[in-house]
Structure 1
Amino acid sequence: MKLASFFASVLFSLASVDTALAAKSFSASNLYYAAGLKDAQQTTLLEGLQSAGVKVLRVWLDGQSGTTKGTPIDGFSGLQGDSPSAYDDNVLKRLDKFMVKAHNYNIKLLISIHSYNALEGNRDFYGKWYGTGDFYTNTDAIGYFKDRIAHVLGHVNPTNGKTWAQSSEYIFAFEAQNEAMHPQGNPTALASWQCTMAKSIKSGLAGNTNILVTTGGGSYLANSLLDQYFSCAALDVLAIHAYGVGDFDTAKLRTYVDHAKSASKKLIMQEWGACYTDASNNNCNGGSPISTSARDANIKKWAAQIDAAGIPWFYWQILPNADPHQGWDYEVGINDVNWGSLKAAGIAAGKAESAFDFTKWLL
Structure 2
Amino acid sequence: MKLFSITTILYGLSSLSGTLAAQSFSASNLYYAAGLTDSQSTTLLSGLQSAGVKVLRVWLDGQSGSVKGTPIDSFDSLQGSSPSDWDDTVLNRLDTFMVKANSYGIKLLISIHSYNALEAANDFYGQWYGTGNFYTDSNAIEYFKERIAHVLAHVNPTNGKTWSQSSEYIFAFEAQNEAMHEQENPSALTAWQCTMAQAIKDNLAGNTGILVTTGGGAYLSNSLLDPYFTCDALDILAIHAYGTGDFETSALQPYVTRAQDAGKKLIMQEWGSCYTDASNNNCNGGSPLSSSTRNANIGDWASSITAAGIPWFYWQILPNADPHQDWDYEVGIDDVNWEALKAAGLAAGNAEAAFDFSAYLL
TM-score interval (norm. to shorter): over 0.9
Aligned residue type for 2:91: L
1:48 corresponding residue in structure 2 = 47
**Alpha-carbon distance in 1 for matches of 2:272, 2:117:** 22
**Alpha-carbon distance in 2 for matches of 1:274, 1:153:** 34
Q: Does 1:235 align with 2:229?
A: no
2:138 corresponding residue in structure 1 = 139
**Alpha-carbon distance in 2 for matches of 1:285, 1:200:** 37
Moved more, 59-68 or 14-23: 14-23
How do residues 311-330 of structure 1 correspond to structure 2 at under 5 angstroms? 311-330=310-329
1:332 corresponding residue in structure 2 = 331
User: Percent same amino acid among aligned pairs?
Assistant: 75
**Alpha-carbon distance in 1 for matches of 2:18, 2:257:** 19
Displacement after TM superposition at 1:21 (Å): 1.2
Aligned residue type for 1:356: F
User: CA offsets, 1:202-250, max 9 Å, x none?
Assistant: 0000000000000000000000000000000000000000000000010
**Unpaired segments ≥5 residues, structure 1:** 1-8
**Alpha-carbon distance in 1 for matches of 2:12, 2:294:** 42
Q: Does 1:197 align with 2:199?
A: no
Q: Does 1:58 align with 2:31?
A: no
Aligned residue type for 1:360: A
Displacement after TM superposition at 1:17 (Å): 2.9
Q: Which runs of 4+ in 1 moved over 4 A?
A: 9-16
**Unpaired segments ≥5 residues, structure 2:** 1-7
Q: How many residues align?
A: 355
SS of structure 2 residue aligned to 1:103: helix
Aligned residue type for 2:129: Y
TM-score, normalised to structure 2, is 0.96
2:171 corresponding residue in structure 1 = 172
Displacement after TM superposition at 1:277 (Å): 0.2
User: CA offsets, 1:56-106, max 9 Å, x none?
Assistant: 000000000000000000000000000000000000000000000000000
**Alpha-carbon distance in 2 for matches of 1:33, 1:248:** 26
Aligned residue type for 1:334: I
2:346 corresponding residue in structure 1 = 347
Displacement after TM superposition at 1:20 (Å): 4.3
2:224 corresponding residue in structure 1 = 225
SS of structure 2 residue aligned to 1:282: coil
2:5 corresponding residue in structure 1 = none
Displacement after TM superposition at 1:18 (Å): 4.1
Q: Does 1:187 align with 2:186?
A: yes
Aligned residue type for 2:124: F
**Structure 1 residues 236, 349: CA separation in 2 closer, same or farther (over 3 Å shift)?**
same
RMSD (CA atoms)? 1.5
2:120 corresponding residue in structure 1 = 121
TM-score, normalised to structure 1, is 0.96
1:294 corresponding residue in structure 2 = 293
Q: Does 1:69 align with 2:68?
A: yes
